[in-house]
Each structure stands twice: as C-alpha cells, then as structure tokens.
Structure 1
Amino acid sequence: MTNHQLSVQPSARRDALTFCVFGVVVFALNVFLYLAGFELPQAAWGLMYIASAALFLLGIAKLVEPPVSLLISPREIRYEHRRGNWHFEWDNLIRFDIPRTHRGTELEELPYIGFRLKDIEPILDTISPRLAVHLVSEQRHLLAAALRRELPDADDYTPYYDIPSSYKTASGKVYRGVQALFAVRSEQLRDLLGYDLYVPASALDRPLAEFCQWLREAQSHRHNVDQL
C-alpha cells in the first residue's frame, strides 16, 4: 500500500474569479454611467447594482469552497467541506453509484453520487456537528423528492421530518443530538434510495457517470494509484 492519494477539485469553484471580476466591472460601469449623467430609470439603476452584487457574492461563495472536495487514498475516501468532513475506509464500503428514483415506469438519476456503508458508526463518531446539521438541511429536498417518487401513496410524511431524541445502532451504541439527527436522515435515505452518504455533482470534477467509472478504477487499483 502506498501513501499516494487522488484529489477531486469541485466544479463549484470554477469561474469564481470571473464572477468576482464581472461583478466589479458591472458596479464600475454603473458608477461611471451615473457620474457621466446618463439618465436611466430608477429601476434600471437598481437592477445594475443588484446584478453587480449578485455576481460578486456568487464569486466569493465559490472561492470559500475548499479547493479539494474528495481525497481518495488506498485506505479511505474523505469528503471535505467548509463546515467539516466525513471519511470512511474502503473496507467499510458496500457500493457506490448514482442514486435513482422512479418517475412513472422509468428511473431518473439524481445529481449525486451515493455511498452505501456496512457500518455508519465511524461516520457518526467523526463527523463535525456543523457539517452534520448542514447536510441534514441540504438534503431536505433530496428526501422530499425521494418521498414523492418512492412513497407516492403515503398519507403523512411528517414522521420523516421529526427530530429524534436518540439513535441506536446495530451494535447497541446510542447517539444523541445532531449525530442522532444525521443518523436518522442517513437511514431514511438508505431505505428510500439505497445509500447512506451523498456527494452532490457540484463537488465533483466530471460528469457523474464518468466519475463513477473513474472511482471504480480507483477502487480496483487503490494499492497502486499511480496507474490512474
């Protein structure tokens, strides 16, 4: 086993500086037109200021994202986020793929890659509370989509959004607080979609299908990552 690792740079960071520059340019143009005495409707001035601020803030939001979203070593996969990280060893992985939901008689791919684990405890023991809370919030729409498509005849979805007081793993270990909340959400998504952990497509550096194929190659050659 080597000490080498592969890194994935998120597509969400692309063009960050471009957005910032365009925001500054639009703002400067707005100021120039105003000082030059150009007469524009008040709404037009407001829209230009809003556009410049939106472009600049979007660029800043991209810049604060970690430069690397996934670190893949012969031993483990690590997901990096500005609010923390989670990681698991390859030996704890059952499978990974693009999660799919039923839409009529067809299956529709969701913009994530999902990981199914043998044991969720190592994640619960190491995930930061800030990241756990963020992921639960971020994945509300994923849960909602899964419920609508996988349980369309259900009368009440309220239990899926209740805050648990505790969570007990198969080994008997009890978690509380945000760890219990994250564990329950992971269990719900596993039941509905088949996976415990989800990485959004925006955190990857290539299309989902291509990334899955690349990751399978990394898995098969993980003791010699220099081949990739």
Structure 2
Amino acid sequence: MQFNVTPHAKRNALTFCGLALLLFALIVFIHLVRDDVPGGVTVVIGATSAILLLLGIGKLIEPPVSLSITPEHLTYLHRRGQWQISWDNIIRYDVPRVTRILDLEDAPFLGFRLHNVDEVLQSISPRLASALLFEQRQLLTMALRHERPDQSDYSQYFDIPDRYVSPNGVVYKGLIASFAVRMAQLRELLGYDLYVSANALDRDVYEFKAHLQKLQASRNEAAGEDE
C-alpha cells in the first residue's frame, strides 16, 4: 500500500496567482479611470503583484507529491530530485527542538536519524544536494544561535569541505560530500540526519508524525504476520 503526501504549500499556488492577477487588473483599472495616480501606489501594487505571482509559480512547479510512503521506503520528492530511505534504516523521527533561554522551541521540520547515511548519499543527486544545502542554511543558523550561543567563530559550519568519509569508510566528493558534512553538522546540533520541511507536509508536523507512527505500526504488524 502506498500513501502520498500533497503539501499544503502546493494548495496555495492558485490562490497566490489569482491574487497577483487581481492586483494587476486593479492597477490597470485605476490608471484607466484616473490620470493622477501617484507613482508610489503603482510601484507598491505592481511589486506586490509580481511577488505573489512568483510565489504562486514557484509553488506550481513543485511536485504534486512531496512524500511517497510504502511498507518498504519513504521517498522525498523535490523539483531538483529525490532521496529515499528504508524503514529499517530509521532509528527515530521527531520534531527537532532548540534550547531557547529556559524553554525549548520547535523547528518547523520533521527530522530523521539514520543507521546508515550511505543509503542516502549513494542515491541523492548533486542538484538536490545543492538545493537542500541552500534551503537548510536557515535551520543551521537557528541551531547554531541556540545550541552554540557562546561560540565566536562559525566558519567551520559554513566553509564546508568537498570531501567526506562516511562511518562505513565510503569516500564522497563534491556536492554530495558537502551535503554529507551538513548532515553530520545537523546531527551534532539537533540529533537528526535528514529533514523534511513542515511546508512539505499535508498537516501539522506533530499530526504528521503521529500519522507516520500509525503507518509504521501497520507495517510492522503486517511484517510480523508474514513471518
């Protein structure tokens, strides 16, 4: 049985595009009925329309499915590629948290800690590795700010080497190596290797975690019956 996740962000694509076209039509109409429209009004409405249109198009070109879940694998789908992990490779998954003064703050991601990172590194494309390195900079910055507040030099976290040797002794180079280093950094700071943004999910991240636990339990029960 396969369960596909359609992200919330995808559903808002047409809304953003519709609002952009509505604003564009509004500014055209205003200029048709009046000759004394301030330039600042035109710039603000035009810029807002353009931003909304770009956001809408960006959401439209995202894959319609962000996660595909089967009894064997979890596959993350991105416009730049995909990664896949087997259920048996997952140690645990949860919402990462950072220390904030005397409290804990949730990061808007679902994190996965793995037994073997080579499963991901040997299948991920350089294009997706590059995209995730960029997208996860904010997560890394958040983790450093709260987990390493007394550290004065963060260059080791951002000047990422392009060579990496996995715990199993496999050597990686280029963007794959840089992504592997980022995985190790985030594991050190937050406890997880892979991260799926809350925007890629179809429900609240904690609700999705509970749903994933149910799917995993059903899988384990089916596997037990087959033995």
- Answer whether TM exceeds 0.5 for this pair: yes
2:204 maps to 1:218:
no
Counterpart for residue 152 of structure 1 = 149
Counterpart for residue 200 of structure 1 = 197
Conserved in 1, the CA contact under 8 Å of 2:162 and 2:175? no
Runs of 4+ in 1 over 3 A off after TM superposition: none
Deviation of 1:209 after TM superposition, in Å, equals: 0.9
AA in 2 matched with 1:31: V
What's the secondary structure of 2:113's corresponding residue?
A: strand
Conserved in 1, the CA contact under 8 Å of 2:13 and 2:56? yes
2:141 maps to 1:140:
no
Deviation of 1:153 after TM superposition, in Å, equals: 1.7
What's the secondary structure of 1:221's corresponding residue?
A: helix
Distance of aligned partners of 1:196 and 1:38 in 2 relative to their CA distance in 1, 3 Å threshold: same
Counterpart for residue 125 of structure 1 = 122
Q: CA RMSD in A?
A: 1.2
Q: Distance in 1 between matches of 2:122 and 2:71?
A: 21
2:56 maps to 1:54:
no
Deviation of 1:37 after TM superposition, in Å, equals: 2.7
- State how many pairs are aligned: 221
Matched ranges for 1:48-197 at <5 A? 48-197=45-194
- Once the two structures are overlaid, the 10-residue window that deviates more, 99-108 or 181-190, is 99-108
* % identical equivalent positions: 51
Alpha-carbon displacement from aligned partner over 1:163-213 (angstroms, at most 9, x marks no partner):
213111112110010111000000000011000000010000100111110
Deviation of 1:28 after TM superposition, in Å, equals: 1.5
Alpha-carbon displacement from aligned partner over 1:6-45 (angstroms, at most 9, x marks no partner):
0111111122112212211211221122122342211111
Alpha-carbon displacement from aligned partner over 1:62-113 (angstroms, at most 9, x marks no partner):
1111111000000000000000000010000000000001112211111000
Q: Distance in 2 between matches of 1:167 and 1:82?
A: 26
Q: Distance in 1 between matches of 2:13 and 2:141?
A: 30
What's the secondary structure of 1:222's corresponding residue?
A: helix
Relative contact order: is structure 1 or structure 2 higher (C-alpha 8 Å, sep ≥ 6)?
1
AA in 2 matched with 1:201: A
Q: Distance in 2 between matches of 1:81 and 1:165?
A: 23
**Unpaired segments of 5 or more residues in structure 1?**
none
TM-score of the two chains, using structure 1 as the length reference: 0.93
Alpha-carbon displacement from aligned partner over 1:126-156 (angstroms, at most 9, x marks no partner):
1011110111111111111111211122221
Conserved in 1, the CA contact under 8 Å of 2:163 and 2:173? yes
Q: Distance in 2 between matches of 1:32 and 1:103?
A: 49
2:29 maps to 1:27:
no
AA in 1 matched with 2:65: V
What's the secondary structure of 1:35's corresponding residue?
A: helix
Q: Distance in 1 between matches of 2:152 and 2:168?
A: 33
Q: Distance in 2 between matches of 1:202 and 1:49?
A: 27
Q: Distance in 2 between matches of 1:8 and 1:190?
A: 25
AA in 1 matched with 2:105: E
- Once the two structures are overlaid, the 10-residue window that deviates more, 8-17 or 95-104, is 8-17
Q: Distance in 1 between matches of 2:49 and 2:115?
A: 48
- Once the two structures are overlaid, the 10-residue window that deviates more, 56-65 or 118-127, is 56-65
Counterpart for residue 10 of structure 1 = 7
